[in-house]
Chains A and B, each alone.
Chain A
Amino acid sequence: MRRREFLEAMGGGFGLLGLTQAGIANQPPPEMLASKRPHFEARAKHVIHLFLLGGPSQVDTFDPKPQLNRFHGKSPPSDAPRSGRKTGKLLGSPFSFKPYGESGLEVSEIFSRVGQCVDDICIIRSMVTEFTVHPPAVYMMNSGTATDDRPAMGSWITYGLGTENQNLPGYIVLCPGTPTMYGGRLWSSSFLPGAFHGTHIPRFGPGVPSDEIIPFLRGKNSATPRQRKDLDFLAQLNAGHRERSGADAQLDASIHAMEAAYRMQLEASDAFDISSEPEKLRSQYGEANFGRGCLIARRLVERGVRCVQVFFDRNELWDSHTDILQHRTLAADADPAIATLITDLKARGLLDETLIVVAGEFGRTPSVEVGFQQPDVQNGRDHNPHGYSVLLAGGGVKGGFSYGATDDLGYAAVENPVHPHDLLATILYLMGLDHERLTYRFSGRNFRLTDVGGHVIHDIIA
């Protein structure tokens, strides 16, 4: 059987039903990452998930609240939601908002570059979650559950769709170092087969040689005639073994995996090697980790990687409890990186098929934090799960569009609340997957990314 036929034969049947039929449930197909047909027509072929860990403040970034500024220093209304930590008077945003683009959507001055692309962006201003502390909120945004024991979104997506380029991992995570509280659990395949575990790239900033980026990508003799010769001998050994063994899908998969690894050496090195990018473009993305990560993400989706996640940092840097002015410093890196990613993908004609998601795990309180955790400076905001903002761009999403709204002061979503399950369901939908059908049998029942909830938000889809 020719390789392509084999791949199609193996890949075609499995993704659709999510392997739930008893008897073949949980049997991994030999070519697990082969590209599979989605449930229905997909709008996006790739997703780039940019995660701003810590909880960026909505009223200082993408949700303008002039009334909040007007009532700065006054006590919040009596029916304002209670915060976790003690908060005091209303704290207006030190940053000014202004309208951008043809749509006139308003964005904060610290995200002015993103503002300039706002006609390609959908801002969801009515996200709501249940959690006021980081870990469950982060896991909910990432894996659809509050606990750390379920597969990540990227694992589900590659489980359902495989990836287009077998010479690169299908789910790649760019996070400088390991997140302290979460570790590798944030991109874990959990009970899904290990092939869908995120490939973590911890070092990719300026100064890191491109061939040190994926573990074991290059050895001394990679891609040399010597290695080719060794692999030819290996192929001989394996062929002889295969002949004696008779039909065995595992052995075939093993042989294919070795061939793919060989090609991956070249292709992955190239993917991470940004030296060929024009210097101007590189500096537009920015030379910090996040900017570099966004640039690499673009290169990866260009090369057919299904899901790329870029974490702003391994720490919860956006967690500005003490001083909201810190957001300006953070946005100095985030703003150009996000904006350049959008414009760069658009210039290459890839924005339509690439879904970009920019999110944090919750928002922040419109009132200032004054509790015992802030003895020195009280210029910051506590966590606010009742209303926060998320950006989407590309991949079939409406541009220049805002969905949902919070109240006048920015506390809580009052119009079209969106739960993280809804966001995840929508992401899967745009990738061509029905979130209720993409299931996996474990511990006696079927599991899915959206747990037992989630509704697709059709209104944001172009």
Chain B
Amino acid sequence: MPIFLIGVSRSALHADESRRTVDHFTNRILPILTDHCLGCHEDSGLAGLDMTSRAGMLKGGESGPALVPGVPEESLLIQAVRHTHPQIKMPLDEPKLDDSEIAALVEWVKTGASWPTVVGPGASREGDEGIAQARRNFWSLEPIRKPSIAQTPSNESPATAIDAFVFAKQIEMGLRMGPTASREEWLRRACMDLIGLPPTRRQLQEFLTDRSDHARKKVVDDLLCSPHYGERWARHWLDVVRYFDVSYKNSPENIFRYRDWVVEALNKDMPFDVFVKAHFAGDLIDSAEHETRAGLGFHWLRPRLREDRVDVVTRGLLGLTGACAECHDHKFDPIPTEDYYGLLGVFTSTEFDEFPLASREVVASYREKSMQLASAKEQVTEFIASQRQSLEMTIAANTGRYLLAAREVMLNGDPDGTSIAARYDVRAEILERWINYLRLDQKDYGFLESWGSLTRRRNVSERQLNQEAINVQRDVVRIVDDKRKLDRQNQQLLTNKNNQTVLKTLATEEALFWQDLFAPPYELHRTGVLYFDDDQIQPLLTKAASRRLDELREEVNRLDARLPDKYPFLHVIKDKRKPKDERVRIRGNQQRLGDSVPRHTLTVLTGGQVKPFAHDRSGRLELAESIVNPENPLTARVIANRVWAWHFGRGLVRTTSDFGLRGERPTHPELLDYLASRLIENDWSLKSLHREIMLSDCYALTANVYSTSNQTKDPQNRYLWRANRQRLTAEALRDTMLFVSGELDTTIGGPPLALDDPTNYRRSLYGIIDRVQSDVVMTLFDFPDPAQSSANRIPTNVPVQRLFLLNSRFVEERAAALARRLESVVGLNRRRQVRLAYGLVYSREPSKEEVRASLEFLASCQSDQPLERFCHALLISNEFLFVN
């Protein structure tokens, strides 16, 4: 007996929904429809069947209704996918669906084919009020509501609100929260989390002896006050905004100021909403309290060849995959394609600019001097070019003599090199080049053919040689002369050159011969054999010309010497004079333009309606405001989740940049809303969030797997019954090795430096990030692609990384430095060395057994660098590489 009838009202559907139904539909049924059906039964609606909605399926197409709710056997959909229908077998031209997929569909139809009031492609279109409204009821789009603290059994008293939520969930899942980590482990974890460096020995000592209730709080507060906090957490942020220093041509040379600004903003605990606004309108909101202009550097992180700011802004700040809407309405989330272009228009209504950090006078003076230098350089180039022209003619006119001289050298040798040249009254440098040329095999054209065969003959008279030499010379002179005439004609054409311009050249053989002799650098890095570049030409000039060249070069040097370094400046943006709306590109194709779209923020944030930004401005400030508006359900959740993920190794929403339908659901939705509310309550202070997280009990759990029952029920530790052991990031690995060896240079800020420079002891944050040629070691340790917004780093453990750890000079040097450090602090006593090494590298005391084993190893090394080897082993061990 069917439970649901065709035509049942929407309110009945509402009444029946539970979160589980929604999840089942969206996680199980909708993907099947999307992957296997909608390709044909969506826009094109093959056979008249539209499968984008329940109504569409009930209506059916040419073959009748696709669905009879409650009766799978009579539903065309089921018959088609089971292949039991005589004609219709779906999906067409594809393998049959899996048994599990068919079973899911059958179950779905059997229980009434409930299509919850959420999602479905096309639902973002206006007109279908019910579905559009319903899509906005998706969990991440519902307003943030601070939940009441979860109830837990009265015999347990969670230390903090966070613990209450976590604990309540564990009880629900039948898990037992585990033991806490040791104090040493907690301290190392806290330090690595907040500043990306291990605790100092003093910090460790103080913490271990501080038995008060405030011990942890003190540590957290101290760490949050450290300037290294900003460095560690800036790097997290830079992953999201795809920061880089160097790319193809024209790298933004001052972009490091954006990076330094992020460090500083975090250190000052700049409210996150101000921080975000700075990225869009840092010039407009700049104040004494919050310096924000440098945040505009974000726009210069855009790849040169690709406009990706809509992607980075929507995924990075809002957790929505807005870039999907570049080609079509988002298939799952309420983002029509117009929204993409509404945002795009904001960005394309701005242009890049520089903001000098120097006085107007300094700037003007620099620009003037810079132009003078450029002009002086141009004079040198032009002078040389004209001299080169004359030289070419001179060489051509002496071809005969060169050929004869060359022949003599090639026949008889010339140990001196210059005496033959002198005798023929030719330049030795030019003669040498002629000789090299004549030694080559000339296959493709005949100007030197008769000369070649003549010179190979034994009995040849001087008269014959001279005659042939003159012949070749005549050819060369003619060719040079003709080329010059053509060049003059071409010059006219080149002044107005365009894609249709056709230039004149010599006939092919002449052209190739000329190229062989005189061409400036051309394909395959060749040049004409008699071409002298700017550095080679001077000795061949007349005295007067040479003097003139010296004068011109001196002028360049003089101007260059007095040109100061370019003034410091910030990379910023400004509005174009005429902000412009973008037109929809149908299927993302720039040649197929649709309607113009007023600049606006995502309609899902403005009640489903387009609310255009002011016409006369790009709209970037308004866009920023829509993002950090406290009523925006996404931004606070997204950043709170990121912070959680960067602490715990995994977010409450695992897909930290996708809070849409295809992303994952939060494991602890109330906790997430709690954190997001708290963030806003605390004026968007990230440090307050760190404090609350790090002072919870669940932050202090052991990372060890102590319970097989828990491990079986929740192997991925989604419910936080223990801590997640995390491998050091690439930066943390390098920084920590330098720290432990005592070599780390903790200077903050400044232009980036090469990471593979062995004298660079700065933190890895300051390493040059090159989009084209990424640093080998950083990439090995999973540094993300700097041309894309990175949601999560995926740490890997592969052999080539271990080669670095085993054999690199870098690690070897750190081990040696650590060994020296041990010796300088505790002398030569092995036991004390071992204890100190454990303290520095692992931040703990070694056990008796560990001491024994270490001493045994040291002794067995005898005199072959025992301490370095011992230190090396510690530095590449798992306990060091992974943070408990």
Contact = CB atoms under 8 A, between A and B. Distances in A.
B503 interface: yes
A445 B321 contact: yes
Interface bracket on A = 35 or more
A454 B375 CA distance: 54
A22 B27 contact: yes
Contact of B305 (A147, A214, A248): A147
Contacts of A185: 771-772, 787
B706 interface: yes
Nearest to B847: A240
Contact of A245 (B508, B704, B806, B860): B704
B657 interface: yes
B429 interface: no
Interface in A254-286: 254-258, 260-262, 264-265
Contacts of A6: none
Nearest to B873: A234
B84 interface: no
B803 interface: yes
A79 interface: no
Contacts of A317: 523-524
B807 A376 contact: no
Interface string A230-264: 10011011101110111110110111111011101
B785 interface: yes
B798 interface: yes
Contact of B776 (A215, A241, A330): A215
B490 A375 contact: yes
A418 to B, nearest CB: 21
B802 A26 contact: no
Interface in A143-170: 147-149, 166-167, 169
Interface in A310-354: 317, 319-323, 325-326, 329-330
B799 interface: yes
B812 interface: yes
A371 B781 CA distance: 48
B453 interface: no
Interface in B646-685: 655, 657-658, 660, 662-664
A149 B785 CA distance: 8
A294 B261 CA distance: 49
Nearest to B864: A226
Most buried by B among A23, A191, A250, A260: A250
Interface string A194-234: 11010110000000000000111111101000110110011
A261 B878 contact: no
A30 interface: yes
Contact of A215 (B725, B787, B804): B804
A13 interface: no
B770 interface: yes
B725 A264 contact: no
A157 to B, nearest CB: 16
B11 interface: no
Interface string B627-661: 00000000000000000000000000001011010
B725 A183 contact: no
Given A257-B798, A257-B802, A322 B502 contact: no
B102 interface: no
A261 B523 contact: no
B881 interface: yes
B803 A216 contact: yes
B512 interface: yes
A304 to B, nearest CB: 14
B511 interface: yes
Contact of A444 (B499, B662, B705, B780): B662
Contact of A443 (B323, B502, B785, B807): B323
Interface residues of B, number: 96
Contacts of A326: 523-524
Contacts of A88: 502
Interface in B285-307: 303, 305-306
Contacts of B522: 322-323, 376-377
Given A193-B782, A250-B725, A216 B807 contact: yes
Given A246-B705, A445-B321, A216 B804 contact: yes
Interface in B836-884: 850, 853, 857, 860-861, 864, 869-870, 872-874, 876-879, 881-882, 884
Nearest to A254: B797
B788 interface: yes
A75 interface: no
Contact of B782 (A194, A330, A378): A194
A242 B878 contact: yes
Given A236-B853, A257-B799, A194 B804 contact: no
B493 A248 contact: no
Given A247-B711, A372-B501, A167 B487 contact: no
Contact of A250 (B515, B772, B797): B797
B706 A371 contact: no
B311 to A, nearest CB: 8
A194 to B, nearest CB: 4
A233 B857 contact: yes
A234 B797 contact: no
A375 B802 contact: no
B523 A375 contact: no
B200 interface: no
Given A149-B306, A184-B772, A379-B511, A320 B806 contact: no
A86 interface: yes
Most buried by B among A188, A248, A261: A261
A303 interface: no
A32 interface: yes
A121 interface: no
A230 B800 CA distance: 18
B500 interface: yes
A260 B802 contact: yes
A374 interface: yes
Contact of A227 (B519, B806, B878): B806
Given A233-B873, A247-B705, A322-B522, A443 B725 contact: no
Interface string B366-394: 00000000000000000000000000000
B662 A325 contact: no
B324 interface: yes
B248 interface: yes
Interface string B751-775: 0000000000000000000111110
Contacts of B303: 148-149
B878 A254 contact: yes
A9 interface: no
B195 to A, nearest CB: 23
Interface of A: 22-23, 26-28, 30, 32-33, 85-86, 88, 94, 135, 147-149, 166-167, 169, 178, 181-185, 188, 190-191, 193-195, 197, 199-200, 214-220, 222, 226-227, 229-230, 233-234, 236-238, 240-242, 244-248, 250-251, 253-258, 260-262, 264-265, 317, 319-323, 325-326, 329-330, 370-372, 374-380, 443-445
15 contacts: A26-B794, A32-B798, A148-B305, A183-B770, A193-B782, A194-B780, A219-B812, A237-B874, A245-B705, A245-B884, A257-B802, A371-B499, A374-B505, A375-B494, A377-B522
Given A194-B783, A217-B803, A377-B505, 6 more contacts: A230-B869, A233-B873, A237-B879, A264-B800, A375-B487, A443-B321
